[in-house]
Amino acid sequence: MTSASGHHALPHTPPAPDRSRFASIGSPYFGIMLSIMAVVLILSNIGASKGVAIGPIITDGGFFLFPLAYILGDVISEVYGFKVARKAILTTFGLSVFASLCYWAIIALPGFDDEFGISKQAALEGALGPVPQIVLASLLAFLAGQTINSWIMVRMKARSGEKSLWARIMGSSVAGEFVDTLIFCSIAASVIGITDAATFVNYVVVGFVYKTLVEFILVPVTSLVIRWVKKREPSYGVPTAAVTSAA
């Protein structure tokens, strides 16, 4: 085909069709997963204020909890779409900020001035005092990492549809966990006592490798949960639900 200027026009290639299917959030499953995600994140924030050394490995006390939040994020993104996943991330962090404000209030309240009251106050300040900075680290890291994780997962689903679920989980996890770990460790390292460069690099590398490996190892479990929820979501795959959830 030749244009008016005499040049051959390139044939128009239509965009690849969106093969995504999603569910609406009318059933109780989304609420249950959102609640678990919020509790896991709040507990992770408390645990992360403690530095943990297991031989040469440097990590924090929330290391065994935090990957669960990402796994739940994968399930929500795959079943309900990016828009719903974004709401889950923001809601989770709103609750985490509320928890942090409660810690501040508890610490600020006047306590008993006897020996037990003074020791209890010191314990609360030591355990919950650093948490606001941990919350800030989690807010920025989890918001960025989970958003990237969810976006990549949904975009890959638009191309492959229901196929290659394992590839979506693993591909999105690598990008999301790297961004999350780098941001979190950069802000939280000083709170848990990491001050030198070598220990910081150890902290970042171990955190990223550990979280990613956990997600990779649990891909079969995550896939089973996703398929289980899809089968029990009455709106999954309904065109109107797909348009609403993925917009």
Residue-wise pLDDT tens digits, 85-140: 999 999 998 898 898 888 889 989 998 989 999 999 998 887 777 667 777 887 78
What confidence score (pLDDT) does residue 17 get? 65
* β-bridge mates for residue 59, sequence order: 52
What is the pTM assigned to this prediction? 0.78
Inter-residue long-range contacts of 221-224, CB under 8 Å, 24+ positions, other chains counted: 221/71, 222/71, 222/74, 222/75, 222/169, 223/165, 223/166, 223/169
One-character DSSP codes across 5-38: TSPBPPPP-PPPPP------S-SHHHHHHHHHHH
More confident of the two residues 44 and 81: 81
What confidence score (pLDDT) does residue 245 get? 43
φ/ψ region of 163 (left if φ > 0, alpha if ψ in -120 to 50, else beta) reads: beta
CA–chain centroid gap for 176, Å, is 8
Q: How many beta carbons lie within 10 A of that of residue 192, not counting itself?
A: 20
More confident of the two residues 178 and 247: 178
Tokens of 243: 């348009």
User: Residue 60 is inside which H or E element, if any?
Assistant: strand 57-60
Mean pLDDT value across the chain:
83
What burial class does residue 96 get, using C-beta atoms within 10 Å of its C-beta: 0-12 exposed, 13-18 middle, 19+ buried?
buried
Sign of CA dihedral 186, 190, 192, 195: positive
pLDDT (mean) for 33-38? 93
What confidence score (pLDDT) does residue 130 get? 67
